[in-house]
Amino acid sequence: MPSFLNQKNMKAIDKIIIAGIVGTSFMTLYSYLRSKKEDEEYVEPVMINKLIDNSENLPSISNEDAHPAGWGLHYATGIGFMAVYWLIWKKALARPTRNKILLLGILSGLVGIAVWKMLFSQHDRPPHNYRYGYYRQLLIAHIVFTLFSVTTYKLLDKEN
């Protein structure tokens, strides 16, 4: 195992960051798959970049798929979700079960849907996609996020 992943010496913040990145990566992969299958734009970093690009007060983005702004904000949000899990749910992280992961994923998905609905409703020119499909996939994507982030955290915390 690489020395930077030495579980004994790893601090909680390191575990939170790594778990948030892993969970966000698998969530995004799921969003890519749903987006491709439904031929709609559901990929969160791309949607963030479209919101930025369509804003009058923000600089335009030439490559909405790969611009780092959307990706950075998406990964920062994933790390933030994982930090909230850690703050609120320390005992549950120690003993995650399928039901706890499902419940936390659904709650996170509902928060995510509420945030995206607010962003779309407050934006003058929100990006277009099939909203019901987007929110449905967003709920499932948050369950995927929770499964992978909590499992990663648990694996990193195994020796502590």
- Residue 121, Cα to own-chain centre: how many angstroms? 21
Look at residue 131 in the predicted model and tell me its pLDDT: 93
CB 26 within 8 A of CB 81: no
Taking the model in full, what pTM does it have?
0.87
Residues 39-79 pLDDT 10s: 999 999 999 988 887 777 766 666 556 678 889 999 999 99
Domain range annotation of the chain: 37-156
